[in-house]
């Protein structure tokens, strides 16, 4: 991915990949996942919301009060995950990622998300 992490261009590139990926078989119902960055630099995006449903997916800056799942991680870890320098399974094992909410629904989206975000590295 050529755009700077969490820039407007980054969101546009990720959303283009989400459109190209189509809908997820795991997303029979509408779901939203919020990623919160505990230590985002001043003026930077502090959270993003991924909305997934039968008609497709979209990612936007900011958080949602009605999120099914909330993932908390450091800004540096989010950057490393986005760039492929950090493995999500390892980060979970090491306690660097905290998950609250509908964990089962998140697991159902793993393959879909990897196909989208993994292709950006």
The verdict on residue 74 lying in a domain is yes
1-36 confidence digits (pLDDT tens): 578 889 999 999 989 988 887 766 655 678 888 999
**pLDDT value at position 28?**
61
Asked whether residue 75 is domain-assigned, the answer is yes
CATH of the domain at 80: 3.30.1050.10
Mean pLDDT of 70-89: 86
Length of the chain: 121
State the total domains in the chain.
1
Task: Identify each DSSP E strand in 1-121 by its residue range.
Answer: 31-37, 47-53, 56-61, 69-73, 97-101
């Amino acid at each position: 991915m050529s755009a700077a992490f969490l820039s407007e261009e980054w969101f546009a590139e990720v959303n283009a990949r989400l459109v190209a990926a189509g809908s997820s078989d795991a997303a029979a119902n509408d779901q939203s996942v919020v990623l919160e960055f505990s230590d985002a630099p001043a003026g930077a995006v502090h959270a993003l919301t991924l909305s997934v449903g039968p008609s497709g997916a979209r990612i936007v800056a900011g958080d949602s009060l009605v999120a099914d799942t909330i993932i908390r991680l450091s800004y540096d870890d989010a950057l490393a995950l986005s760039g492929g320098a950090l493995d999500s399974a390892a980060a979970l094992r090491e306690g660097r990622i905290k998950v609250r909410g509908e964990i089962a629904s998140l697991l159902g989206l793993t393959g879909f998300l990897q196909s989208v975000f993994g292709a950006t590295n």
